[in-house]
């Protein structure tokens, strides 16, 4: 009986430790970024195509405005100050393509799946983001990172510049940075630690 109680207690302690590590690490990474999330009206070819046009227009319009941002909070403040402007940019694209629905822009904390870029991989979890919903918002998503400005780099490669990587490195813990860049410098393999975050995210959602 004592062995059973000990095993149960040990299991609870291990689960709590994994949960604390996963939550703290995901929070550290999430608070170092501001993401962009665009939701199409539907999965029709036309709605998906105009979603990408809205993406391009918003990225082009916000690029210069976000250049001065040095922290995630500064980036959020700039985005918040330009929500109406962002909606007008999206609506202009929709109107130009003869769509009868409009866009809604908001800043909030939203759930994201694992996303891999050329030189970073972001774990699943909740991130602060600019969300643009087109029409009824019933279609597939598109997302990227507005701060550091991954959206404004080469979209074909998705590669983050050295300057932006330095900004990322300075905004989070060394462990978190090693995790998203897959730099295996710690005692525990990075791939294993990343899997812990993915599994914990599934447990939380379950």
What confidence tens digit (pLDDT) does each residue in 134-151 have?
Answer: 999 999 888 888 888 777
For residues 61 and 105, give the distance between their C-alpha atoms in angstroms, rounded to a whole number: 14
What confidence tens digit (pLDDT) does each residue in 40-89 have?
A: 999 999 999 999 999 999 998 998 898 888 888 999 999 999 999 999 99
For residues 91 and 134, give the distance between their C-alpha atoms in angstroms, rounded to a whole number: 9
Which residue in this structure is represented by tokens 């870029």? 117
187 falls in which pLDDT band (50, 70, 90)?
Answer: very low
CA distances from 149 to 3, 46, 58, 107 (A): 53, 28, 13, 17
Listed residue (31, 36, 34, 81) closest to 60, CA to CA:
36
For residues 126 and 93, give the distance between their C-alpha atoms in angstroms, rounded to a whole number: 29
Contact criterion met (CB below 8 Å) for 37 and 129: yes
156 falls in which pLDDT band (50, 70, 90)?
Answer: very low
List all residues 6 or more positions away from 12 whose beta carbon is below 8 Å from its beta carbon.
none
């Amino acid at each position: 009986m004592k062995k059973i109680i000990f095993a149960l207690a040990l299991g609870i302690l291990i689960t709590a430790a994994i949960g604390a590590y996963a939550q703290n690490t995901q929070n550290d990474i999430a608070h170092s970024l501001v993401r962009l999330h665009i939701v199409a009206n539907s999965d029709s070819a036309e709605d998906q195509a105009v979603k990408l046009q809205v993406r391009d227009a918003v990225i082009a319009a916000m690029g210069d405005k976000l250049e001065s941002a040095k922290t995630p909070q500064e980036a959020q403040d700039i985005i918040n100050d330009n929500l109406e402007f962002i909606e007008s940019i999206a609506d202009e694209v929709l109107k130009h393509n003869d769509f009868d629905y409009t866009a809604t822009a908001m800043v909030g904390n939203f759930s994201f799946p694992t996303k891999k870029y050329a030189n970073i991989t972001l774990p699943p979890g909740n991130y602060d983001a600019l969300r643009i919903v087109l029409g009824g918002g019933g279609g597939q998503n598109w997302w990227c990172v507005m701060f550091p400005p991954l959206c404004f780099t080469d979209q074909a490669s998705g590669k983050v510049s050295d300057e932006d990587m330095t900004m990322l490195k300075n905004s989070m813990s060394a462990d978190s940075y090693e995790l998203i860049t897959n730099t295996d410098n710690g005692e525990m393999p990075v791939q294993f630690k990343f899997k812990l975050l993915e599994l914990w995210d599934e447990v939380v959602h379950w």
